[in-house]
Structure 1
C-alpha cells in the first residue's frame, strides 16, 4: 500500500461523511416543513421585530400572562428567539 492509497481512502471517507451530513440536512428541512417549526420561528422573529422586546415581555411574560398554563415555556421560546437574533446581530 502506498501513500496514494491512504489519501484516496481518506478522500472516500470524507466524501461519504459529507453525503451523510447532506442527507441529514435534507431530512431536517423536510421535518421542519412538516411540523411548521421554521414558520413558527420566523413568525416569532417578526413579532419581536414589530413589537420590540418590551412588547413581548408585556404580552408573554409569565408574571403578566398568569392565566396561561404554558406561559413559562412560551416566554422561554420567545427569549431563545430574541437571544438568537441579538447574537446574530453581533456577529455581523
Structure 2
C-alpha cells in the first residue's frame, strides 16, 4: 500500500486506521490536510450522485464547485419565459 492519504481513504473507516493516519501526519510521513474539507467534498459528491434529475445535478455541481458564470447563465435561462 502506498503511504498516501488517498490510499488510506480507500480503507475501511476504523478508529485505529484514523489514529495511524494522524500519527503518520504528526511524524511527517504524511502531509497535513484539512480532513473536514475532505469529508465535505465526499458528502457533496455523494449528494450530487443521488440527484436523479440530470439538469438539477448539473446546476448543483456548477453552484457547488464555484462555476458561478455557468450557474448564473443556467438560472437565468430557466427563469426566462420561452418564446416560440
**Considering the TM-score relative to the shorter chain, is it more than 0.5?**
no
Which structure would you say has the larger Rg? 1
**TM-score under structure 1 normalisation?**
0.28
Flag the structure with higher helix content.
1
